[in-house]
Structures are given as C-alpha cells and as structure tokens.
Chains A and B, each alone.
Chain A
Amino acid sequence: MPVACHAPAALHAPLAASTYAEEVRRVYNSAREAERTRLTWAELIEARLKLAAVEEIDADWNGGDSEAPNLTSRQRARRLVELAVRDAHLMPSAVLPSVEGGIAFVFKEGLRQGSIEILNSGELVAAYFDNFSEPTVWEFAPNDASTTTALERIRVFVSR
C-alpha cells in the first residue's frame, strides 16, 4: 500500500486561518524590523558624517576666539552619536562647534528644541526649550547612564 495512504490527515488539511494570519504577521514584523534597522543605520551614518565635519573644523574657526574640539570632546561626541541614534532613536538636526570650545548637538522638532553640549573643559550640558518659554538646563556626568537620561528627557520634550 502507498505510504501516502498512511500520512497524517493534518498534512493534507488547509492551514487554519489563525496560523496563516500569524505567519503573515510574523513576516510583516520581521520586514518592518529590518527596515527600521536599515533606517537606523542610515541615520547613524548621517549623524557620524555631521560629527566628522565638526571634528575637521579649523583651529581658528571662530576668528581665534574659540578652541576647536579637543580629543576628549570628540571621543565623547562619538559615543553620544551611538547612544542618541541607535539607542534613543533621536536623530540630531545639527552637529555644530560650540563657541565655548567643544561640540554641540541640536535636536529640533518644530518649535521645540533640545541640545547637548560637550565642552573641552569637560563640562556636559543638556537643555530643552521652545522659542518663548524659560529653558530647562542642567549639567550631567560623563557616563552612559547620565547621557541616556539626558537624551530621553530631550526626546520626550521635542516629541510632545
């Protein structure tokens, strides 16, 4: 007698609707996640390029009144890019040299804005504000936890 005659009936039964829907959802979510990862990588590269442009700024970029970013600022800024884009999903609108010597990240969403300045002096300052009200400003420690907290506070404000 052919083997097929002894195959379990389930092999020949059509997929249950719930199983098909679950499979579609699984594939869809996987594709979305892949797209999100692709976009995150694109944003990360874009942010790194913005930072690289600031790192290459001339020593007398501000007519000699301000220092160019030093090694410590540059290293901390590179870490901030990773934490901001990859972890906090917060893309900097601009990366600029700071007149106080260092690197500044600006996060804008309409009239709301956040910023983090990494100064050559070692100071780290975060802020968020709009065009009219009193800004909220605070200094924070040079570690991942404090940086992540600062980014999250900024993200919550600008995305309101």
Chain B
Amino acid sequence: MYSCPGERPERMFQRSRPPVASFSADEHLYIRYLAVSWIDGRLSHTGINAFPNKVEQTSVNRGSFSEPEDVLFSEDGKYAKHGVLRFQVSEIPSPVAGEPSSLVFEFWPKHVPLELNYSHSEIWSRRSGLTSEYDKPPASVRTKFRIMLSQILTADRICICACGH
C-alpha cells in the first residue's frame, strides 16, 4: 500500500530540464486508478483516468523519468486512496474509430513537464487527416478509447494497489 513520502523526490523537480519529445514503444506510462472501479478482477473503463472532465488531457507519468509512486505524490494527500497501473506507449489505443466509423482519431503521448513533476505527460488526440494540434474526441471515441485501454489493464499491470482493493 502506498504511503506518501514527506518530501517530493528530487527526480520529480524539473530544474530547467527540457521536454523530451521522443517516446520509445516499450516505455512505461503510469496512470492512477481507484478501487471502486475494479470489477471482477478487471478495471472498469468508467474508472480509467482518461479525459477526466476537470482537466482537458489525460495525464500520465512517463517511466523514463519516474517511479510508479510519483504519480500519487501530492502535498495534500489527495491521491492517497489511488493505485497505479502501467502500460506501454505501444499499447495506447490508436487509431480509434467512433460513430460514424469515418470519425477516426489518433492518440499519442506528449511530454509536458511540470515544474514539480518532470515526468508529467499527456495523451493527445487529433482527428485523422487533419493537421490541427489537438482535437477533443467525441464521447463515443473517448469511451471506446477507455474500453480498449481497459482490455489491457489487467491485474498484472498493477504497480501499486489502490486503497480498498
């Protein structure tokens, strides 16, 4: 069970380090989850912390610059009940077709360092064939993305168990 350290690990501070655009296919990404979303040995897609509506993008920590527990660190302990799951960059569902099937979106990781969390990254999306920097997917694509990710996130992908799990 995770116990939040008293101080932020040194590796989490950005300290002027620039973002690193490239991700290797087998690089781990860490994402939070809650025990309430675990049903019959699998994580319900409704609990995958993708597209949480208070933050625009899906946040993950990239494994190259972090340990799994870093994604739970918070001075106010707000993630104390969360657990951590891992998946590889190559496992990001992409492309994902919504309804109608011509509505296709691509997903990819982007390193977006924060001053207090250098490994912070996001999963960005864009409608296939367009050159925009970012397009928010419609609900059907977002749900399908989460379902496809939940099909990967089985119990063996747990790095840190959520409270109550």
Would you give the 0/1 interface string for B115-152, flagging 1 where the beta carbon is closer than 8 Å to chain A? 00000000000000000000000111111100110010
**Which residues of B lie under 8 Å from residue A121 when comparing CB positions?**
53, 139
Chain A count of residues within 8 A CB distance of the other chain: 35
**Which residues of A lie under 8 Å from residue B14 when comparing CB positions?**
none
Task: Please list the residues of chain A having a beta carbon within 8 angstroms of any beta carbon in chain B.
Answer: 60-67, 93-94, 96-101, 104, 106, 108, 115, 117, 119-121, 123, 125, 127, 129, 131-132, 134-135, 137-139
User: Are A99 and B48 also in contact (CB < 8 A) when A132-B151, A137-B99, A138-B140 are?
Assistant: yes
A63 touches B74 (CB 8 A): yes
User: Are A65 and B49 also in contact (CB < 8 A) when A96-B44, A135-B147, A137-B144 are?
Assistant: yes
In Å, the complex CA distance between A2 and B129 comes to 100
**Which residues of B lie under 8 Å from residue A137 when comparing CB positions?**
98-99, 140-141, 143-144, 147
B139 touches A123 (CB 8 A): yes
Partner of A66, one of B45, B52, B99, B139: B52
> Is B39 in the interface zone, CB < 8 Å from A?
yes
Chain B count of residues within 8 A CB distance of the other chain: 35
A129 touches B147 (CB 8 A): yes
A139 touches B139 (CB 8 A): yes
User: What's the nearest-Cβ distance from chain B to residue A156, in Å?
Assistant: 18
A67 touches B46 (CB 8 A): no
In Å, the complex CA distance between A94 and B38 comes to 10
A99-B46, A106-B46 known, 16 other contacts, Cβ within 8 Å: A62-B52, A64-B54, A65-B52, A65-B55, A93-B39, A93-B40, A96-B46, A99-B47, A99-B48, A106-B44, A115-B44, A129-B151, A135-B147, A137-B99, A137-B140, A139-B99
A104 touches B98 (CB 8 A): no
Partner of B142, one of A100, A120, A134: A100
Question: Please, could you name 24 A-B residue pairs with CB atoms under 8 Å apart, sorted by A?
Answer: A63-B74, A63-B78, A66-B52, A67-B54, A94-B39, A96-B36, A96-B37, A96-B44, A97-B36, A99-B47, A99-B49, A100-B51, A106-B39, A106-B46, A108-B39, A123-B139, A125-B139, A125-B140, A127-B143, A129-B147, A131-B42, A135-B143, A137-B99, A139-B99
User: Are A131 and B78 also in contact (CB < 8 A) when A99-B49, A119-B139, A139-B140 are?
Assistant: no
